[in-house]
Amino acid sequence: MHDLDHLVAQSMNMKEIASDEEVSDTEDDDLLAELHGLSEESEAVVSREPTPPTSHSVLAIVNDRVDNYQLGLASARSMNDGSKVRRLERGLKTLQSQAKQLNAGKMIAEDDIPPAIVIRTTEPPPSEPIEEEPLPPPPVFEPTVSTSTEQQPMELFEANTVTSVANGSVMTKLSEEDQEVHNMLMMRRNQYKTAAVQAKHNADETAARRLYRTAKQFDVVIRALEEGKPVDLTQMPPSPPGMADVVPVASERMQGSSSPEQNKSKLFHAPESASTVLEALQQRLAKYEATSQAAKEEGSSSKARRMGRIVKQYQSAIKAYKAKQPINFDDLPCPPGFPPIPGNRPKASPTEPLPPPPPLTIKDDSPVQPSTPQVSSASRAESQALFLQERQLQFKKAALIAKKNGDLALARNYLRLAKGFDQMIQASHSGLPVDMSQVPPPPGSSSVGHLEFIPANENGVQLGDRDEAYKKLEQDLIQQIRTCTSNADHFTKLGDVTSATRFDKMGQNSRKDLAALKNAFKHGDPVPRFHYETRSFTLVQSCTDLGDNSLEIQIIRGINLCLPSGYSSKDLDTYVKYEFPYPNDEPQKGESDICKHTNNPEYNQCFKLDINRKSRAFLRLLKSNKFIKGEIYYKRGFLKSDKLLGTANVKLLPLETQCEIHDSFDLMDGRKSIGGKLEMKIRVRHPFISKQVEEVKERWLVIDNFERKLQPPQQNQMRQKSPNRTNTSLESSDSASPPLASTYVSMEVLKYERQMLDQQILRYKGKLTPNEEEAMKHKSELLTQRVEETRDALRKGGVATLKIYADAIEKTQNVYLQEARSLVQTGNRVKAQTIMTKKKLVEREVEAIRAKLPS
């Protein structure tokens, strides 16, 4: 056995490890020294007397505690826990001082060493290990501590193990089952050591190091077994290749051991897990009531009062739960050992006792398929980079369009702006801050254009209803584009890329609708189908033109100032002095220009002042009801000093929740109102305490679809040739065009459109403005009137007119068919079905007319 240990130590010489290999914690000089100190052969485990700690062991404990406190300090800083950071810094300084004393050869009392701390990570609990059959070569395993909520780092476990050994924990006498497990672990450890020596002789350095690490991890598990701690052998690796496997004889005992939760429940006599929230609350209420009663019987008045307060909390929670009100379960204390409330994830409480030590798990260290991590949302920098790339692509497309249109100057300008995005995108990818207020607006957003209405009827026929409808739609779309542009620019300056992108897309949709509306009007198409929606937008109000540490005062005007005795309004020359009470030792002051010859002066002047949001003195200034003083002075003449007319005070407290104060303030003389007002506006970039979020509702125009005017190509030519008809009949003149030659619309189609329009009026009744509802009713009346005029013309015209009418509407069938096919190709099947319905109505009407006409 002694020779085997020496061979293992030689094979694991740290000098032979390449510089680029990963060196684990088990490959340091201390572990090699421990390896040389192993006994020559495995003996029966006997109880050992605790030995006093040496300076070397105490130094190891102190060094481990230093690492422990450094990890805890980093964790506390990441969670912004200021008190814990300061406490850990004090403990770390103590440990570092003790380490210096030990290195200098001085002795310190072990009781003076700060205790180890528990580090809670914010990472999600690891996924359950998947039990798989181990594959050769044998994987390396390591002991881990499996807790009910989080997996502690390996370094903490090793630190605790070293501490327990250094403190001289007494090895318990092993039972028969534990002795069998102990012998099996010793045998498996020796097998891995032998395999490491063989791999070293075969010049396989990688396998030798892996096998040696596995053998060293057996020592930790064996030591835990000797100290009476439970161990879990379900994930123990098999014997190395070429070695006889050892069956874990005590696996049933280890697997059948109760979980920490069950042990804790039995320890504190907790009831079984409740099936409902109400049952869990009642269980806890009964527990605390019993504890309160027991405290009263024992005479512990403070404990009884404390339990009484908790009982009242649970009574209020049960009452709120029955009333279906929200409950914050985290505020309710949980009795020790009680299972969590159903549907509520328990959080670790510092007042709860620590669970009993969990069993050690021997886990494979072989590379396994990692669980698929959840896709996290894009970071702020990634969102900004994506937004900048999309905006750059918009400018490049605009440059290409301008080049195709022959506007080379505009194309060069767009291309220059697109190139300017490169530095911003590169900075965003590098994690550097990007000033989103400098991002240019999308191309074409500065102006929305104007719709020029061209008369569709060249004969001078006024289309008043159609013109008004198109103008109203145009105005609404232009207003929507302006709203989207201003909101997108506002959110871009705030750095809210998501909201800016959303308004950009809404603005692009409105621009497309406006372009389609222009095209439809110029081609004489009927008014498109549309409806209005009420859309709610959450807007964060901010004055983006100001800096974070700037405050702006605008002195706008004086309103009906009181006249001093002996003065008229033409004699009054006034100006305003302001005073901002920050900083306290030197308040910021200034004055406006003089406004002459009026008691309603217009000052319209702006002043920017410096503030410090992070200063405690400034925050106290806001809480102390301080105000900005605006004093109006008037000129009294040559060699006379100016005199105070009145003072207006603007309180700063509303700036905690608002970014702008705009109001007219009464002029005062002390506490007396003297008449007149001073209008002022105070602006900051953001409110000082909370954001100013407003819910804005907009009436939003949505165009459903556009309808083409169904006319044969020759219609415009026939319309130009057809003269205005008087009382000439068709039979008397063949050269004159028939009265319906310029219509080509089926009466059945007109009835169908009127029916659909009436249904739309009923559907949106109460949601339309009176003007819109009146316009739709007027359009329905026009359709009815057109049907009656067509019917009267057919009755007066006779058979010849009826034939011309039938031929005219029959030609529209092909137009309907072509339009339906194009709609199907674009995916608009609902509109295509409506067009096919009109085509069928025309077919039936033509068949009915042909049947009545003489052959």
Question: Six-digit token pair at 643?
Answer: 């005199």
pLDDT score for 379: 60
Mean local confidence (pLDDT), 443-454: 43
Q: Does the structure show a pLDDT above 70 at 198? A: yes
Binned at pLDDT 50, 70 and 90, residue 405 comes out as: confident
Closest CA to 333 of 287, 298, 274: 287
Binned at pLDDT 50, 70 and 90, residue 404 comes out as: confident
Q: Does the structure show a pLDDT above 60 at 139? A: no
Residue 540 phi/psi, 5-degree rounding, is -95, 110
Query: Hey, which residues does 648 pair with through a beta bridge?
Result: 630
Q: Does the structure show a pLDDT above 60 at 823? A: yes
Binned at pLDDT 50, 70 and 90, residue 5 comes out as: low
Q: Does the structure show a pLDDT above 80 at 527? A: yes
Question: Six-digit token pair at 763?
Answer: 């559907």
DSSP string, 267-293: HTTPPPPPSSHHHHHHHHHHHHHHHHH
pLDDT score for 647: 94
Q: Which residues of 773-799 are buried (b: 16+ CB within 10 A; e: fewer)?
A: eebbeebbeebeebbeebeebbeebee
Binned at pLDDT 50, 70 and 90, residue 467 comes out as: confident
Mean local confidence (pLDDT), 98-118: 83
User: Going along 548-659, which residue ranges are E strands?
Assistant: 550-559, 574-580, 588-591, 602-610, 627-634, 643-651
Closest CA to 373 of 79, 123, 121: 123
Binned at pLDDT 50, 70 and 90, residue 539 comes out as: confident
Tell me whether residue 179 is exposed, middle or buried, using C-beta atoms within 10 angstroms of its C-beta: 0 to 12, 13 to 18, 19 or more. Answer: middle
Binned at pLDDT 50, 70 and 90, residue 589 comes out as: very high
Which CATH fold would you assign to the domain 550-685? Immunoglobulin-like (2.60.40)
pLDDT score for 680: 94
Dist CA 673 CA 651 (whole Å):
17
Mean local confidence (pLDDT), 273-284: 83
Q: Does the structure show a pLDDT above 50 at 777? A: yes
Q: Does the structure show a pLDDT above 80 at 149? A: no
Tens digits of residue pLDDT in 500-517: 888 888 888 888 889 888
Residues sharing a CB contact under 8 Å with residue 269, sequence separation 6 or more, in sequence order: 337
Binned at pLDDT 50, 70 and 90, residue 847 comes out as: confident
DSSP state of 311: H
Establish how many alpha carbons lie within 13 A of residue 697's alpha carbon, considering only the half-sphere containing its beta carbon: 3
Mean local confidence (pLDDT), 257-262: 49
Mean local confidence (pLDDT), 736-764: 72
Question: Six-digit token pair at 338?
Answer: 């009680």
pLDDT score for 646: 93
**Percent of the chain with pLDDT strictly greater than 90:** 10
Higher pLDDT, 284 or 434: 284
pLDDT score for 663: 92
pLDDT score for 665: 93
Tens digits of residue pLDDT in 161-175: 333 333 444 445 567
pLDDT score for 120: 62
Dist CA 15 CA 439 (whole Å):
58
Question: Six-digit token pair at 108?
Answer: 């310190």
Tens digits of residue pLDDT in 32-44: 444 444 433 333 3
At 474 the three-state DSSP class reads helix
pLDDT score for 366: 40
User: Which of 431-440, 444-453, 571-580, 806-815 has the least mean pLDDT?
Assistant: 444-453
Residues sharing a CB contact under 8 Å with residue 64, sequence separation 6 or more, in sequence order: 116, 158, 159, 162, 163
Higher pLDDT, 537 or 266: 537
Average model confidence (pLDDT) for the chain?
A: 73
Strands 643-651 vs 627-634: parallel, antiparallel or unpaired: antiparallel
Residue at 147: amino acid letter: T
In the block, residue with structure tokens 């409950």:
327
Q: What pTM value is reported for the model?
A: 0.33
pLDDT score for 317: 87
pLDDT score for 242: 64
The answer to whether the CB of 835 falls within 8 A of the CB of 819 is: yes
Distance (Å) of CA 550 to CA 86, 406, 444, 544, 613: 34, 46, 33, 11, 9
Binned at pLDDT 50, 70 and 90, residue 559 comes out as: very high
Establish how many alpha carbons lie within 13 A of residue 144's alpha carbon, considering only the half-sphere containing its beta carbon: 18
Residues sharing a CB contact under 8 Å with residue 640, sequence separation 6 or more, in sequence order: none
Q: Does the structure show a pLDDT above 50 at 668? A: yes
pLDDT score for 633: 94
Q: Does the structure show a pLDDT above 70 at 265? A: no
pLDDT score for 588: 93
Question: What ranges in 205-298 are assigned the alpha helix state H?
Answer: 205-226, 251-255, 260-267, 277-298
Tens digits of residue pLDDT in 680-714: 999 998 898 887 877 788 888 988 888 765 444 33
Mean local confidence (pLDDT), 747-774: 82
Tell me whether residue 828 is exposed, middle or buried, using C-beta atoms within 10 angstroms of its C-beta: 0 to 12, 13 to 18, 19 or more. Answer: middle
In the block, residue with structure tokens 């105490």:
58
Query: Hey, which residues does 579 pair with through a beta bridge?
Result: 589, 629
DSSP state of 646: E
Question: Six-digit token pair at 277?
Answer: 């929230």
Mean local confidence (pLDDT), 447-470: 47
pLDDT score for 29: 52
Domain boundaries, the chain: 261-364, 382-532, 550-685, 710-723+735-852
Distance (Å) of CA 73 to CA 67, 69, 334: 10, 6, 28
Dist CA 4 CA 194 (whole Å):
7
Query: Hey, which residues does 531 pair with through a beta bridge?
Result: 702
pLDDT score for 234: 67
At 417 the three-state DSSP class reads helix
Dist CA 60 CA 113 (whole Å):
12
Q: Does the structure show a pLDDT above 70 at 55? A: no
pLDDT score for 661: 92
Question: Six-digit token pair at 750?
Answer: 């007109």
